[in-house]
Chain A
Amino acid sequence: MLPLRVLVADDHRLFRQGLIGLLHTRPELARVVGEAASGREAVECARTLHPDVILLDIMMPDGDGLAAAHQIHEFLPSTAIVMLTASELSEHLYEAVQLGAAGYLLKSLDASELFDLLESVAHGDAALTRAMAARLLKAVASHTFHADAGEEALTERETDVLRLVAQGASNLQIAEQLCVSVNTIKVHLRNILNKLQLHNRTQAAAFAVRRGIVSPPPTEA
C-alpha cells in the first residue's frame, strides 16, 4: 500500500513543523506533500497536489479553514479533510461536518489518534475515531441539520449499522458485531449514504444523533 499523500495547512509555522516531524516517524503510512499557511494557500495546493488527506486548521488569516474545506470538497470530493483546531467549539465541529469534513482533531492530539485516523482513511473507512464520535454526538445534540435529507426510510439492518457508525465503530468491528462480512457492511453503508444523500460516515453519524437513533454521551464535567 502506498503511503497517504498529506497536505498540512496551518498558519503557525511551529505547529506545522511539529506535525510534519511527527508524520515523518510513520513514512509507510503518510507522506507530507505540501504545506500551506492560509486557507487560500490550502485551496491552491489542494488543486495542484490532489492529496489523499488534508490536515486543515480552522482559524487562519486570509480565508479560514471552514471556507477552504467547503471549496476543496467541491472539486476533490474523495479527499478526506480533517479539521485541526485549538478549541472545542461545537459550532466549528458541526459546521465542519456540514461542509463535508471527514474528521476533526484537536491540536492537543495524541499521536495515536492521528495515526488511527490516517489508518482508517487508508482502509477506506473514512475518518471517525471514537474520541471524535463522542465529541460529534455532543455537538450535534445541540444543533439541527440544515440540509435535512433522508426522507426515504432505512431498513432495520441499515439502522443498526448507522447506530454503530455513530458510536465510532470501524467497518470490521461492525461486521464482527453483526456477524456478517466487511463487504456487506460497506454495501449497507453506501446504501445509507445514498438514501440520506450524505457524503461520508461522519455526516451519517450526525444524522443518527439528530434522529435519536443514538443518544449523546453524558456531558463531561
Chain B
Amino acid sequence: MLVHVFFLYGLAFFAMGLAVALESRRASALAFGHHLRWLAAFGLAHSIVEWSDMFMLLNPPEPLHGILQATRTIMLPLSALLLVRFGIGLVGEAGPLPEWLTLIPPVLLVPGALLVTYGIVVALTDPVIETAADVWSRYLLYLPGSLLASFGFVRQWRSLLSSGYARAGYWLLGAALGFAFNALVAGLIVPSAPYGLAPWLNYDRVLALTGTPVQVWRALSALAVAFFVVGALGVFEAERERRITRLNAERAQAQQEALRVQSEARQSAEEWTDSLVSISRKIANLDNVDDVLSAIVAGARRLLATDLAALALWDSAGEQLELKCYATDAGARLSKNMGLAQDPHIDDAIRARRTARYPQAMDGNQPVWRCPISQQAIQSAIIVPLQLDERVWGGLWVERYTSSIFTDADQQGLERLADQSVIALEHALMASRMQSLAVIEERARIARELHDGVAQVLGYLSLEMQTLEALVRQGHAQDVLPHLVGARQRIKEAQADTREGILSLRTTLAGDVGLIPALQAYIDEFSVQTALDARLVHDLPDAPHLSPLAEAQLVRIVQEALTNVRKHARARRVSVNLSVGLDRLHVAVRDDGVGFGGNSEHGHFGLQTMHERALSVNGALQVTSQPNHGTCVDVWLPLMER
C-alpha cells in the first residue's frame, strides 16, 4: 500500500515538473513565469526522491539498495535547494518586500548559521546517518523552501489580481496553500529522532493521531500542489490571449487611424481642388476682381484653418501696402479704403519676393507680433508675395493666434492661391484695358458719325442759307424754291440718320438685357423708323455664348449693315438670321434691294469697317451682292466654351 502512495507522490511532482518545464519555455511578460524552470527542476528532482523511497520498499538487492539510498540522501536536499531558489525568485519578483521582512536576514543570520552548523555536525556524526540527513534536510532546506514557495505564490496571487488575471490568481492561492500544507507534512514531520522537534512531531505521532501514515498526507499535499500549479499555468494562455486581443485591437486601431488620415487627406485634397476650380471659373467668367479676391481670401482661411487671411496690394506709388480684403471666422470683408497694412514682417517678405513662414523651426524661437488688422498676437503665419515675372502686386498671408505649425503642404497651397490672385488681377487689368479701348473706339466712331452726318448737313445748310440770302438780295427769287425743296429733303434725311444714331447708341448696351432681346428691340424700332419690313429670324433656345467684345461688335455690324440697307439698297424687306454651328454663330443680313456690282460707289468705307470689326474678335465677314438681286452680309463669330 505504501508503495502506491510513494508512486503517486512521485508522479504528482514529476507531472508537475514536466508540465511546468514545458510551459517555462514560453516567453512571458509575467514575473511568475521567470522562475518556473526552478520549480520544474524541483518537481523532477523530488519525484526521484519519492520514487527512490518506493523502490527501496520493494527490498531491492545490494548494491541497488545502497545506490537508491545514496540517491535519495543527495536528491532530497538538492530538490529542497531548488525549491528555495524558486521561492526566493518568486518573492523577490513580486515587487518590493514589506518593511518588516527586510529585518529577517540580519536578525536570523547568526542563530540560522548556528542551527545549520549544528544540523550538519549532528547529521555527519550520527550513527544512523541516513535518518539524521533526512531530518536536517527537511528542517533546514525543505521547510524554508516550501514556505518561501508558498509565500511567493501568495505575493504573485496579489500581483496577478491587480493585473486582472483573477482566475489564474486563485489557482496560485491554491498552490500557496498546497505548498504551506506541504511545508507542514514534508518539512516539519520527520522520522523519529533525538533532535529538533523530532521527538514530539514525527511519523509515529502522526500515524497515532490521524490513523494515516504521513506519506499519505505528503502525497495529498503533492497532488494539491501539482493540481493548483498546473491549473495556474493557464495564466500564460490567458496572457497570450490577452496579448493577441490587445495586438488585434491595436492593429484595428492603427488601421482605423490610417483610414481616417487617408480620408482626411482625400477630403482636404478635394476641398482644395474644388476651391481652386471654383476660383478659376470665377476668373474665366469675368467675375468682378474684388469678388474673386474675396473668394480667394475666404478660401485660404477655411482651407488652412487659420484665424485670419488677408490680401494687400501696393499703392500706385509702390510704397505702401493697402489692405484689399481679409477674412476671419466672422466672414470675409472687402473694402476700397480699409487702410494700410503696415507690418514689417509682411512688408519684408513681399519686398524680398519670397514666401516667409513663421515659426521657421520647431524650436519655438519665433517672433510673435501683433496682427495689423485684428491686433491679436500672431503665433504662426505664412506670407506669400503676389508676383508675376517682374511685377509684384502685393501679398497674401494667413495667421494663427495659437502656436501650431504650418506645413510645407500648407505653404504650397497658399502659394497656389497667390498664383490665382495674380491671374485674377492680371485678368482684371487686361479687361479694363480692353474696356477702355472699346470706349475709345466707340467715341471715335461717334465722332466719325457726327463728322460724316450732322456736321455735314449743318455745313451744307449754312452754305445753302447764304446762297438763298444772296439769291434774294440779287432778286433771283425764282431760283430760291428748288434750293428750299432740296434743303427740306436734306433735313429729313438728317433726322432719320440722327434718330438711327440714337437708336444705335441705345442698343450698344446689349449686356444688360441680353443679345437677342437687344437685337429684337433694335430691329423692331428700325422697322418702325424706316418703314422697312425688317425681321429677326432665329430658333435659338437662349443667347449664344459670345465674348462681351464679340457681342458688341456683332451689334455694330448688324446696325451698319441695316444702315446701308436703309440708305442704299432701296429694299422692301430685310431679315437678320441667327444660327449656331459647331463652335460659331452665323449671322446673315439679307435684303431684296437693288444690290451692287463689284465696285460699288456706296460705302466700301463702311464695308471695310465691318470687316475689321469681325476680324478684331476672330470672326469673319463676307458681303455678296448682284445688281438687282439684293445684298447679303454674312458674319461668323466664335462662340465661347461653356
The chain A residues found within 8 Å of chain B, CB to CB, are: 12, 14-15, 17-19, 21-22, 24-26, 59, 61, 86, 107-108, 110-111
Task: Report yes or no: B474 in contact with A25, Cβ–Cβ below 8 A.
Answer: yes
Nearest-CB distance from A59 to chain B (Å)? 8
State the CA gap A17–B456 with chains docked (Å).
11
Residues in A neighbouring B452, C-beta threshold 8 A: 12
Residues in A neighbouring B470, C-beta threshold 8 A: 22, 25-26, 111
Check if B127 is an interface residue, CB within 8 A of chain A.
no
Identify 10 new A-B residue pairs, CB closer than 8 A, beyond the known A14-B460, A15-B459, A22-B463.
Answer: A12-B460, A18-B459, A18-B463, A25-B470, A26-B470, A86-B455, A86-B459, A107-B455, A107-B459, A111-B463
State the CA gap A21–B451 with chains docked (Å).
21
Count class of interface residues, chain B? 20 to 34
Residues in B neighbouring A111, C-beta threshold 8 A: 463, 466-467, 469-470
Question: Which residue in chain B gives the minimum CB-CB distance to A110?
Answer: B466
Task: Report yes or no: B483 in contact with A21, Cβ–Cβ below 8 A.
Answer: yes
Check if B97 is an interface residue, CB within 8 A of chain A.
no
State the CA gap A18–B461 with chains docked (Å).
7
**6 smallest beta-carbon distances between A and B, as pairs:** A18-B463, A25-B470, A111-B466, A18-B460, A14-B460, A21-B467
Residues in B neighbouring A17, C-beta threshold 8 A: 460, 486
Check if B129 is an interface residue, CB within 8 A of chain A.
no
Task: Report yes or no: B467 in contact with A18, Cβ–Cβ below 8 A.
Answer: yes
The chain B residues found within 8 Å of chain A, CB to CB, are: 451-452, 455-457, 459-464, 466-467, 469-471, 474, 483, 486, 490, 605
Task: Enumerate 10 A-B pairs (CB-CB under 8 Å) in ascending A order.
Answer: A12-B460, A14-B456, A14-B459, A17-B486, A18-B462, A18-B467, A21-B464, A25-B474, A86-B459, A107-B459
Given A14-B490, A61-B605, decide whether A24 and B460 contact each other with a Cβ distance below 8 A. Answer: no
Nearest-CB distance from B476 to chain A (Å)? 8
Nearest-CB distance from A25 to chain B (Å)? 4
Most chain A beta-carbon neighbours within 10 Å: one of B451, B461, B463, B474: B463
State the CA gap A25–B476 with chains docked (Å).
9
Given A15-B459, A18-B459, A86-B451, decide whether A25 and B464 contact each other with a Cβ distance below 8 A. Answer: no
Residue from A15, A26, A59, A86 within 8 A of B463 (CB atoms): A15
State the CA gap A212–B242 with chains docked (Å).
116
Nearest-CB distance from B453 to chain A (Å)? 10
State the CA gap A108–B462 with chains docked (Å).
7
State the CA gap A21–B467 with chains docked (Å).
6
Residues in B neighbouring A26, C-beta threshold 8 A: 470
Task: Report yes or no: A14 in contact with B466, Cβ–Cβ below 8 A.
Answer: no
Task: Report yes or no: A15 in contact with B466, Cβ–Cβ below 8 A.
Answer: no
Residues in B neighbouring A108, C-beta threshold 8 A: 459, 462
Residues in B neighbouring A21, C-beta threshold 8 A: 463-464, 467, 483
State the CA gap A49–B605 with chains docked (Å).
28
Nearest-CB distance from A82 to chain B (Å)? 15
State the CA gap A24–B452 with chains docked (Å).
25
Residue from A12, A22, A24, A110 within 8 A of B456 (CB atoms): A12
Question: Which residue in chain A gives the minimum CB-CB distance to B471?
Answer: A25
State the CA gap A25–B483 with chains docked (Å).
12
State the CA gap A61–B470 with chains docked (Å).
32
Task: Report yes or no: B464 in contact with A18, Cβ–Cβ below 8 A.
Answer: yes
State the CA gap A203–B461 with chains docked (Å).
33
Residues in A neighbouring B451, C-beta threshold 8 A: 59, 86
Given A12-B456, A25-B474, A86-B455, decide whether A19 and B466 contact each other with a Cβ distance below 8 A. Answer: no
State the CA gap A86–B448 with chains docked (Å).
12
Residues in B neighbouring A18, C-beta threshold 8 A: 459-464, 467
Task: Report yes or no: A22 in contact with B457, Cβ–Cβ below 8 A.
Answer: no
Question: Which residue in chain A gives the minimum CB-CB distance to B455?
Answer: A86
Question: Which residue in chain B gives the minimum CB-CB distance to A17?
Answer: B460
Question: Which residue in chain B gives the minimum CB-CB distance to A12?
Answer: B456
Nearest-CB distance from A188 to chain B (Å)? 36
Residue from A15, A25, A61 within 8 A of B460 (CB atoms): A15
State the CA gap A2–B452 with chains docked (Å).
35
Task: Report yes or no: B456 in contact with A15, Cβ–Cβ below 8 A.
Answer: yes
State the CA gap A19–B466 with chains docked (Å).
10
Residues in B neighbouring A86, C-beta threshold 8 A: 451, 455, 459
Residues in B neighbouring A59, C-beta threshold 8 A: 451
Nearest-CB distance from B457 to chain A (Å)? 7
Residue from A12, A14, A24 within 8 A of B467 (CB atoms): A24
State the CA gap A14–B567 with chains docked (Å).
14
Task: Report yes or no: B460 in contact with A22, Cβ–Cβ below 8 A.
Answer: no
State the CA gap A86–B457 with chains docked (Å).
12
Question: Which residue in chain A gives the minimum CB-CB distance to B493?
Answer: A14
State the CA gap A21–B486 with chains docked (Å).
11
Question: Which residue in chain B gives the minimum CB-CB distance to A106?
Answer: B459
Nearest-CB distance from B492 to chain A (Å)? 13
Residues in A neighbouring B605, C-beta threshold 8 A: 61
Task: Report yes or no: B457 in contact with A25, Cβ–Cβ below 8 A.
Answer: no
Most chain B beta-carbon neighbours within 10 Å: one of A18, A25, A26: A18
State the CA gap A110–B467 with chains docked (Å).
11
State the CA gap A210–B462 with chains docked (Å).
35
Task: Report yes or no: B490 in contact with A22, Cβ–Cβ below 8 A.
Answer: no
Nearest-CB distance from A19 to chain B (Å)? 6
State the CA gap A46–B451 with chains docked (Å).
26
Most chain A beta-carbon neighbours within 10 Å: one of B459, B464, B605: B459
Residues in B neighbouring A24, C-beta threshold 8 A: 467
Residues in A neighbouring B483, C-beta threshold 8 A: 21
State the CA gap A111–B466 with chains docked (Å).
6
Residues in A neighbouring B464, C-beta threshold 8 A: 18, 21-22
Residues in B neighbouring A25, C-beta threshold 8 A: 467, 470-471, 474
State the CA gap A18–B464 with chains docked (Å).
6
State the CA gap A204–B52 with chains docked (Å).
158
Residues in B neighbouring A19, C-beta threshold 8 A: 463
Most chain A beta-carbon neighbours within 10 Å: one of B451, B462, B483: B462
Question: Which residue in chain B gives the minimum CB-CB distance to A111?
Answer: B466
Task: Report yes or no: A22 in contact with B466, Cβ–Cβ below 8 A.
Answer: yes
Nearest-CB distance from A87 to chain B (Å)? 9
Question: Which residue in chain B gives the minimum CB-CB distance to A25?
Answer: B470
State the CA gap A107–B456 with chains docked (Å).
9
State the CA gap A26–B473 with chains docked (Å).
12
Residues in B neighbouring A110, C-beta threshold 8 A: 466
Nearest-CB distance from B616 to chain A (Å)? 20
Residues in A neighbouring B461, C-beta threshold 8 A: 18
Nearest-CB distance from A15 to chain B (Å)? 5
State the CA gap A130–B325 with chains docked (Å).
64
Residues in B neighbouring A15, C-beta threshold 8 A: 456, 459-460, 463
Residues in B neighbouring A14, C-beta threshold 8 A: 456-457, 459-460, 490
Residues in A neighbouring B469, C-beta threshold 8 A: 111
Nearest-CB distance from B40 to chain A (Å)? 121
State the CA gap A18–B459 with chains docked (Å).
8
